[in-house]
Amino acid sequence: MWIAIAIAVVLIALLLLLRARVRQRGAARRSEAWEGVVTDLSRNSFDGQNMVHQVEVRLSDGKTKKLRIPGKLFESLAVGDAVSKTAGSPDPVKK
């Protein structure tokens, strides 16, 4: 009985830590600001139901970044388009 309670406590603690980490990553992404050019567009349905839209961007400092974007933004972009993301916004915008 005590073993089951201990396992439950450990699992709850792990879930709370995971939740905090996910929130921290989201906050870090929102604080980013960058500009770049679209180098690749892709979409995939990993589970057969939900479509994931991704864009690869070459940043102004030469690095590349691959990120998920909303479908509406995906449909408006083409390779070579300039995009930017301001601090505080969740998603990039087309320039």
Condensed to tens digits (0 to 9), the pLDDT of residues 37-83 reads 999 999 988 787 889 999 999 999 999 999 999 999 999 999 999 99
Average pLDDT over the chain reads 88
The angle formed by the CA atoms of residues 44, 35 and 87, to the nearest 5 degrees, is: 90
Residues 24 and 38 in one domain: no
Strand 82-85's sheet: what is its strand order?
Answer: 64-69, 52-59, 34-44, 82-85, 93-94
Residues 77 and 53 in one domain: yes
- Host domain of residue 3: 1-30
**Is the pLDDT assigned to residue 88 strictly greater than 80?**
yes
Is residue 51 within 8 Å of residue 45, measured between CB atoms?
yes
Q: Model pTM greater than 0.85?
A: no
Among 85, 50, 49, 81, residue whose Cα is nearest residue 67: 85
